[in-house]
Amino acid sequence: MNDGSRLTLAHFAVTIIGKDRPGIVADTSEVLYALGCNVEDSSCTMLGGEFAMILIVSHGKPFSKKRLEAEFAAKNSGNGLSAFIRTLKDDEVLYREPAGELCLVSVYGSDKPGIVYRITRELADRGVNITDLNTKLIGSETEPVYVLMLEAALPQGMSADDASQLLENLKKELSVEISVRLITPVSL
């Protein structure tokens, strides 16, 4: 779809979350399908015992957020799912992915407060753009281990080694393992 045609569409960010069970995606997409909405982009996963859906949906203009909210409210009444909907402006819809090298940063070690914050603050201050991030608490109750995996686009001119260097001090300070590797897609 080119940019011109996308602007004739209304776009919404839809977040659905609730206790996991079979059928959450089917129920959600049924509402969207019945309304004639397109699911343009989505990411859905289990988090703890919850299932979380984040979707970018579009519909030919005119189409109101109220309509979408009403349909979800009707569908989700009594089923424990909550829905949050936000209208997207045209400049949010036309966003392009950053062009720098793509890295995977893995961080893990004994659980302690501040791992996510310290790592991501360091990256943010250098203009590193996180494109994907997962965290998980693993290990045993007596020795909990925190795992953070993130993918990030480096700013022009920053190498994976530079990014690794950037996080070097945090390794010692947080006593965690940190590794950075290049995962820029290969064009075949």
Partner 1 sequence: MAAKTIVIYPAPILKTPCAPVEDFDAGILEVIEDLVDSMRAGPGSVGVAAPQIGVSLRACVVDVSKNRLGKDNNHGLLLMVNPEILAKSGSAVMREGCMSVPDYTGDVERATEVTLRYREPDGATREFTATGFEAVAIQHEIDHLDGMLFLDRIGSLKTGLFRRKNYK
Q: By the criterion CB under 8 A, which residues form the site for partner 1? A: 45, 102, 132, 134, 136, 138, 147, 149, 151, 183-188
Phi/psi at 121 (nearest 5 deg)?
A: -65, -45
* Closest distance of CB 35 from partner 1, Å: 26
Looking at the DSSP assignment, which residues form a beta bridge with residue 148?
107, 135
Looking at the DSSP assignment, which residues form a beta bridge with residue 144?
139
Between residues 26 and 46, which has the closer beta carbon with respect to partner 1? 46
* Closest distance of CB 78 from partner 1, Å: 29
* Closest distance of CB 62 from partner 1, Å: 28
Q: Helices 160-174 and 115-125: crossing angle, nearest 10°?
A: 150
* Closest distance of CB 106 from partner 1, Å: 9
Between residues 85 and 109, which has the closer beta carbon with respect to partner 1? 109
Query: d(Cα 70, Cα 161) in Å, to the nearest integer?
Result: 50
Q: Are 131 and 152 in contact (CB under 8 A)?
A: yes
Between residues 16 and 103, which has the closer beta carbon with respect to partner 1? 103
Tokens of residue 145, six digits:
């281990």
Between residues 68 and 158, which has the closer beta carbon with respect to partner 1? 158
* Closest distance of CB 60 from partner 1, Å: 22
Query: d(Cα 112, Cα 173) in Å, to the nearest integer?
Result: 11
Looking at the DSSP assignment, which residues form a beta bridge with residue 78?
none
Between residues 97 and 125, which has the closer beta carbon with respect to partner 1? 97
